[in-house]
Structure 1
Amino acid sequence: MRIALLEDEHEQAERIAELLHDDDKTCDYLATGQAFLSAVAHKSYDLLILDWQIPDIDGIEVLRNVRATLDWPIPVLFVTQRANEQDIITALDAGADDYLAKPLRPGELLARVRALLRRVHPEVEKEHLEFGPFTIDKGSRVIYCHDEPIELTDKDFDLTLFLFQNQGRLLTREMLLERVWGVSSDINTRTVDTHMSRLRRRLGIKPENGFRIKTIYQRGYRLEAVDTEAMSA
């Protein structure tokens, strides 16, 4: 899981990033609102942690910008010295999912981060996932469509799992290379296009089966659920 942290106090940012790293999470920390928004627009994150009082753009404005521009409800945790009731209400009304007051207690921070991630990705801890006619067996690494097993390479399995776990979310080619292939985005992104084309055919990802992979011009792909009842009406 990758987390973006907005924190202008270097030592505090380092401590939080180290805590998250020890909990098997990657953390990018940014000291200004502009740098943070640029990172969120161009990289893939699973959770955002925001401080309130930042030199250029305060955390509330950053949060409002994120909610207005991102195409999926990324979880947001506010971590700030401002701890009166009205501040908490303001942050939650602006779109924050949770709120922590400084000074931080490391164990509580990690527990709240894990809880937010579970809320968005409840399937992470499950071994068997079901999405319409598709069943994903994470243990045996087999995917079924209408109970029929589909032969896939390891990489195609990983890509399919990532698609379904991020249903409805725009996944850029660079993001997929990083999260599925584990490589930098400076290699040829045609690799992603080739695998997507193959998945459409092999898995039968089409409206009749309740899903489609939509190509987003010059950006990437999004797995979308399709209302099959509306199609047949």
Structure 2
Amino acid sequence: MRIASVEDDPDQARLIRKILVEAGFECESYATGAALLRALREQAFDLLVVDWQLPDTSGIELVSWVRQTSGAMPPILFLTSRTAEEDIVAGLDVGADDYMLKPIRAGELLARARSLLRRAYPEATQDADVIRRGSYCVDPRARTITLGGEVVTVSPREYELALFLFRNMGRLLSRDVVEQAVWGRAIGAGSRTVDTHMSRLRIKLALRPENGVRLTSVYSHGYRFEETGAEDEPRA
């Protein structure tokens, strides 16, 4: 799983990355909040490890921005030297999921990271089997989707939406459920965000019966994503 670490001290950044990489995680290090925000526009991470003090912003402001933009995911672990209760509460109140006091201890960092990942991605951490449906292959570990053996390029949010659909095939999914599962919050009755993402995904992944699946809009409720058989394919 992919972890982003935001730490401006080079020695601390190397230590964090060393601990996580040796434990089998992928880890990208960033020295500023701005560098992380640029990366989040292009990449998806399963966990953020954020230092409280950064040269261009505070960890509090960075966590707040991530939560307002990305919702409840990914989980965030605060690293801090502050021990005052009000500081810790402030960090948790803006959206951090856990905190760890410095100096960094390898065992504690791994334990807290693994705990957050288990809670946030129960299917991915307990059962990361590749999903194969029709002409599609969804790999939760590699975070890739292939159609007919070819990798399809999707945005991080589109990937999360596609993974949610493939894990819930055959179910009637309300917009509220989709919003909470993929965006981590209610978006609003007048928003077209979910519909727009569904439409883009339908086009990018060619979600059609000839590829073994069907994505259907259910009036006044939401969506149903299901497998199709040979009898559903268009006749010549």
TM > 0.5: yes
Question: For residue 23 of structure 1, what is the amino acid of its counterpart?
Answer: A
- In 2, are the aligned partners of 1:48 and 1:75 still within 8 Å (CA)? yes
- Closer, same or farther: CA 125–46 of 1 in aligned 2, 3 Å: closer
State how 1:202-213 maps to structure 2 within 5 Å: 202-207=212-217, 211=223
- Give the CA deviation at 1:114: 0.8
Q: Which residue of 193, 197, 220 corresponds with 2:206?
A: 197
Q: How many residues were matched structurally?
A: 175
**Is the 8 Å Cα contact of residues 52 and 59 (structure 2) preserved in structure 1?**
yes
Task: State the partner residue of 1:159.
Answer: 145
Letter of the structure 1 residue corresponding to residue 52 of structure 2 = W
Determine whether 1:52 maps to 2:73: no
Which has the bigger relative contact order, CA under 8 A and spacing at least 6?
2
Distance in 1 separating the partners of 2:28 and 2:100: 19
Letter in structure 1 aligned against 2:206: S
Distance 1:106 1:53, change over 3 A: same
SS, match of residue 83 in structure 1: coil
Cα distance change on mapping 1:107 and 1:194 into 2, 3 Å: same
Superposed displacement of residue 127, structure 1: 4.5
| Amino-acid identity (%) | 38
C-alpha separation in 1, matches of 2:39 and 2:25: 17
Contact in 1 for aligned 2:207/2:215 (Cα 8 Å):
no
> What is the TM-score normalised by the length of structure 1?
0.63
Q: Which residue of 2 aligns with 1:63?
A: 63
Contact 2:67 2:95 in 1 (8 A): yes
- C-alpha contact (below 8 Å) 2:207/2:214 kept by paired residues: no
Q: Note the C-alpha offset of 1:126.
A: 4.2
- Structure 1 distance, partners of 2:202, 2:216, is 17
1:93 & 1:153 partners in 2: Cα distance?
40
CA 1:123–1:10 in structure 2 vs 1: closer, same or farther (change >3 Å)? same
Does residue 42 (structure 1) correspond to residue 42 (structure 2)? The answer is yes
> Aligned in 2, Cα 1:45/1:102: closer, same or farther, shift over 3 Å?
same
Residue 94 of structure 2 is matched in structure 1 by: 94
Moved over 3 A (4+): 125-128, 151-158, 165-170, 192-195, 198-201, 210-213
Match of 2:116 in 1: 116
Deviations 1:90-141 (A, max 9, x none): 100111100000011111111111111111111124449xxxxxxxxx38x5
Cα distance in 1 for partners of 2:202, 2:28 equals 28
TM-score by length of 2: 0.63
1:18 paired with 2:27, answer: no
Secondary structure class of the residue paired with 1:114? helix
Does the residue aligned with 1:204 lie in a helix, a strand or coil? strand
How far does residue 61 in structure 1 lie from its aligned partner after superposition? 0.6
Letter in 1 for 2:20: L
User: In 1, are the aligned partners of 2:136 and 2:145 still within 8 Å (CA)?
Assistant: no
Asked if the contact 2:75–2:117 (Cα under 8 Å) also holds between the matched residues in 1, the reply is yes
- Equivalence for 1:176: none
* CA deviation map 1:33-90 (0-9, x unaligned): 2112221222111111110111110110111111111145320000111122111101
Residue ranges of structure 2 left out of the alignment (5+ in a row) = 147-158, 166-177, 184-200, 226-236
Q: Does structure 2 conserve the Cα–Cα contact (< 8 Å) formed by 1:4 and 1:40?
A: no
Matches of 2:163 and 2:38, distance apart in 1: 26
Q: 1:154 to 1:80 in 2, by over 3 A?
A: same
